[in-house]
Structure 1
Amino acid sequence: MTQSHAIPLPPPEERRRLREAGALTQAQVAARVGVTRETVCAWESGRTTPRGRRREAYVRLLDSLAEKAEKTVLQEPSAEPAVTGHQRVADDAVHAAGPGSEDPEPSHEPPPERPLTPAQAFDALYAFCAPALVRQTYLLTGRRELARESVERAFQLAWQRWPEVARDRDPASWVRAAAYDCALSPWHRFRPRYRHPEPPPSDASDRALMAVLLTLPPPQRRALLLFDGVGLGLPETAAETEASTPATANRLLHARAAVAAHLPALSDPAELHDRLAELASTERLRAARPTDVRDGSERRARFWTRAAIAFTVALIGTTALTLRTAPTRYEPPVPPGATVLGVPPRVAPGPLSEAEVKLRAKLRSEAHNGPQRLAPQPG
């Protein structure tokens, strides 16, 4: 699995919280970073991710807002902790014990947070990535049902390998690569349900853009979607597509040239990025519930486990039968036949020739009579 080396960004909810804590509007953030207000809205909703210099400027702005919020919290006077019912019961018990008992000092440390269970962590990752990933996969394939199926299959694989995915530095990239691989599998062309195209989008401009995307080769389409749609950098796009950086740049240039040849208005990469985001958001594609995905993954794992057990049992039975019926001692091969007194050897069983039939009749007739023998006669 590839790793992402981009500058880390906080989650979309944290981006919005930092902006509101700094008393900034989306237009003010857009003016500082150098983008439009719609782009900042897409960043905070999680539909798109900044890249390149805009990503660096956005990260610096968020870091400054986080430091400002942290200083504000440290400068505020600490309020006196409220006395809860449990504390009152503890105080009453101390006073009832008498003056010799020690008065425990109240603890102001926050209670330790319980770590998330694997199911909770998986559900959080699914809720964060699945809706946007279904829309991205739809742009990659042009099929709504295949997009949902590919994302569900990718998360099923992630749940089966959850210890590996949970330790990955970018679990979202792991799942995205698995979903794209499943969606672009060439075996889907042999499935009857995917032999005919699905209805295109209702808007004419969306239909034109989708038609151009589907005419691109799958490697170019994937590189264009990751770089101009998702917002990854060129090294991250090359790593996720398992290609070299020059090859990925070449694919990206060819894909942009093809799109610009059919749609000259999208020759600007920024305009292409916005149009891809709009096209993905127009389709109301809903992902399955995380519990259904986890249950489906477990059912699939149980099925293949039972199939492996059945195959192993059949193999053991076949081996045991072979050992039971095989000869246990050496049997020399039958030597080839030789001609004896003019009688040819029988090479193989089968019908006798005319000469063999006559020879057999002659041998049988002479066997009864035999040669005359001399016997002594009594005197």
Structure 2
Amino acid sequence: MSSEAEFDAFYAATAKRLVATVYAMTGDLAEAEDAVQEAYARAWQRWGRLTRAGDPLPWVRTVASRLAISTWRRTRNRLRAQLRHGPAPDMPGLSEDRVALVAALRELNAEQRRAVVLHHLLDLPVAEVARETGSSAGAVRTRLSRARKLLGEQLTNINKHDEEVVTHG
């Protein structure tokens, strides 16, 4: 298989899930898509080295995450305005559960959010999350523990609010 065909197959097999991962980290679908596209473009430029080193997905995921978080920080005000005014009319609707989860993830700090997404949404073991984030396994476990507690509180509060709206109109 040629390098181009190998890269195309890798992209087809991993891009959709990577966009979902970065979206979960940032809460902004457009930024996630842009960051993932840029990460794959950078991966193509290094494709030979990346495949010789082993699985290129952790590298692409790390690059996409860093790009998205940097962009997210620079465009925080634009994101707040978009959230205030709602999604653009041509954006597909998201399920209430997904919206609640993304809202709860936004309440976590960036390190906690990244650990949760890598560990719980991508099913990476703690040791792999530690490698990708440049942290110790103990630090990852602490972030996950604190994040789960905060997420539980956030999602419980959202559910209580929804129940009150339904019962009290």
- Shorter-chain TM-score bucket reads 0.7 to 0.9
Gaps of 5+ in 1: 1-115, 266-379
1:233 aligned partner = 125
CA distance in 1: counterparts of 2:138 and 2:72, whole angstroms: 29
Gaps of 5+ in 2: 88-92, 158-169
Report the TM-score when normalising by structure 2. Answer: 0.79
1:73-84 alignment runs, 5 A limit:
none
Q: 1:117–1:213: structure 2 CA closer, same or farther, 3 Å change rule?
A: same
Identity score, percent: 37
Report the TM-score when normalising by structure 1. Answer: 0.37
1:352-371 alignment runs, 5 A limit:
none
Q: 1:192–1:117: structure 2 CA closer, same or farther, 3 Å change rule?
A: farther
1:148 aligned residue (33, 44, 52): 33
CA distance in 1: counterparts of 2:42 and 2:129, whole angstroms: 22
Residue 259 of structure 1 pairs with residue 151 of structure 2: yes
In the TM superposition, what whole-angstrom CA distance separates every residue of 1:204-227 from its partner, at most 9, and x where no partner exists? 333222111011111100000111
CA distance in 2: counterparts of 1:141 and 1:195, whole angstroms: 12
2:2 aligned partner = 117
CA distance in 2: counterparts of 1:148 and 1:186, whole angstroms: 12
In the TM superposition, what whole-angstrom CA distance separates every residue of 1:159-214 from its partner, at most 9, and x where no partner exists? 11112111122211111111111111167425875463344654333322211101
CA distance in 2: counterparts of 1:262 and 1:165, whole angstroms: 39
Amino acid at match of 2:3: P
2:65 aligned partner = 180
Contact 1:220 1:252 in 2 (8 A): yes
Residue 217 of structure 1 pairs with residue 109 of structure 2: yes
1:126 aligned partner = 11
Amino acid at match of 1:117: S
Aligned length: 150
CA distance in 1: counterparts of 2:105 and 2:136, whole angstroms: 22
Higher helix share: 2
1:206 aligned partner = 98
CA distance in 1: counterparts of 2:10 and 2:41, whole angstroms: 12
Say which SS state the counterpart of residue 134 (structure 2) adopts: coil
